[in-house]
Amino acid sequence: MTVFNLDNINVSSFDPMPSPEEIHAQLPLSLTAGNLITSGRETLRNILDRRDHRVFVVVGPCSIHDPRAGTDYARRLKALADEVSDTLYLVMRVYFEKPRTTTGWKGYINDPNMDDSFRVDQGMKNAREFLLQIAEIGLPAGTEALDPISPQYLGDLISWTAIGARTAESQTHREMSSGLSTPVGFKNGTNGDTAVAVNAILSASRPHSFLGINSLGRTAIVRTNGNRYGHLVLRGGEGRPNYDTVSVQMAEQALHKAGLASNIVIDCSHANSYKNPDLQPLVMADVVNQVRLGNRSVVGMMIESNLVAGNQAIPEDRSQLRYGCSVTDACVDWETTVTMIRRAATLLRDVLPGRLLQS
């Protein structure tokens, strides 16, 4: 009998991975965390449905690489969130997976030790532990869904999900989004095209059936109901911003033409700030002014923020990492973050309730 060597030619190994159920059992959802996440999702749905007048702000590090600095940031953000809670609803940006144009560090889940050991099993447990800590502190978490298997491990701890510019056109991610339990923000394409995101919102709102895994880690046919809380995130593209009044109005028209709610989130970073964190406050100020002048479609904003401004390369000696400084995109520092959010809250405090009444 002829034996053919046809399978897994370029696969070096299959390392065992604990099932979602096993990791959930090791790191269970507490009553405090469960109540917080339930409340966070409900609040975000109410904002999107115009039953809550506030604007939500997804704010935090470009990516999590140091849990100690991350929890430090979260405690500070919780105090700020309480201070502005009458006007802004703050969601901590907790990104563990980083899409790459070519190569680079793929994030805390993929390589938690930042040494190319790729201990995904360890990274997944660490990520879940960190999300539980954030919930216990009292903050809802927002993340980007990149790997379609990860939500089975972490999805119960997330209140808001983003689908990135590189994956909004992916059928896999549209199908996955149709089954996610959170509102989902779809970013426009890297070229600035909003049609990709609009089509993704439409697709994710419909039921789908696709291959995935269940809580036991077994391959399953996943059948979804569709997610009606998809919305558009404008992040600019090809080096050009799209947060200006004209771009926002064009996005509104595209959503209306597709029969979708005019729910728009403005990402103050990425191409909207030319990847220069110093411009993020100017972007946010412009968007706040649009709302003050009568815009009713902007329901949220995003800020890349950390304890320390800028970013850093990952050094050979990990002990040389600067505490609280991003290892991916450059961020604004904590002091700038506080100023941005307090100013937005002050300027919007008397405007937003009236916008809700006009809906």
Write down the domain spans for the chain: 20-358
The residue ranges of the chain whose pLDDT is under 50 are: none
Looking at residue 99, what is its pLDDT?
A: 72
H/E element, 55: strand 55-60
Kindly state the helix (H) or strand (E) to which residue 92 belongs, with its residue range: strand 88-93
- The predicted structure's pLDDT at residue 359: 58
Do the Cβ atoms of 34 and 21 come closer than 8 Å? no
Residues 275 and 318: their CA atoms lie apart, in Å, by 25
Q: What is the pLDDT of residues 25-84, one digit of tens each?
A: 999 999 999 999 999 999 999 999 999 999 999 999 999 999 999 999 999 999 999 999
In the block, tokens 């100023």 appear at 339
pTM to 2 decimal places: 0.96
pLDDT tens digits, 115-152: 999 999 999 999 999 999 999 999 999 999 999 999 99
Please state, in angstroms and rounded to a whole number, the distance separating the CA atoms of residues 285 and 131.
30
Q: Which two tokens stand for residue 213?
A: 């895994």
Q: What per-residue confidence (pLDDT) applies to 103?
A: 66
What CATH number has the domain spanning 20-358? 3.20.20.70
